[in-house]
């Protein structure tokens, strides 16, 4: 898979979906754009602030070694 773009705040948002194209580029799609016209489908990146930001669910990592 191609390198992921530095999307700023979107990288930590639950509404981001990465969309690769056939030429090897990856775009950051805002899923909020499907239901709310205030949000652009593909926002200019990096996004530094967004009123629709919601943190993505954190996946628990391995327990730290002691």
Instruction: Work out the pLDDT band at 63, boundaries 50, 70, 90.
Output: low
Span 17-29, mean pLDDT? Answer: 93
Residue 57 lies in a domain: no
Which range of residues forms the domain containing residue 20? 1-48
Q: Return the pLDDT at 7.
A: 87
Instruction: Work out the pLDDT band at 60, boundaries 50, 70, 90.
Output: low
Structural domain count of the chain: 1
Cis check for the bond before 46: say yes or no (omega within 30 of 0). Answer: yes
Residue 17 lies in a domain: yes
Number of helices (H), then strands (E), in the chain: 0, 2
Instruction: Work out the pLDDT band at 66, boundaries 50, 70, 90.
Output: low
Residue where the block lists tokens 């754009």: 33
| Residue 42: how many other CB atoms lie within 10 Å | 11
Span 10-29, mean pLDDT? Answer: 93
């Amino acid at each position: 898979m191609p390198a992921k773009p530095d999307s700023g705040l979107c990288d930590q948002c639950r509404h981001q979906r990465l969309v690769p194209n056939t030429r090897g580029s990856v775009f950051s799609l805002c899923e909020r754009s499907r239901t709310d016209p205030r949000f652009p489908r593909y926002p200019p990146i990096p996004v530094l602030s967004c009123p629709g930001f919601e943190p993505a669910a954190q996946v628990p990592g391995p327990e730290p070694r002691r």
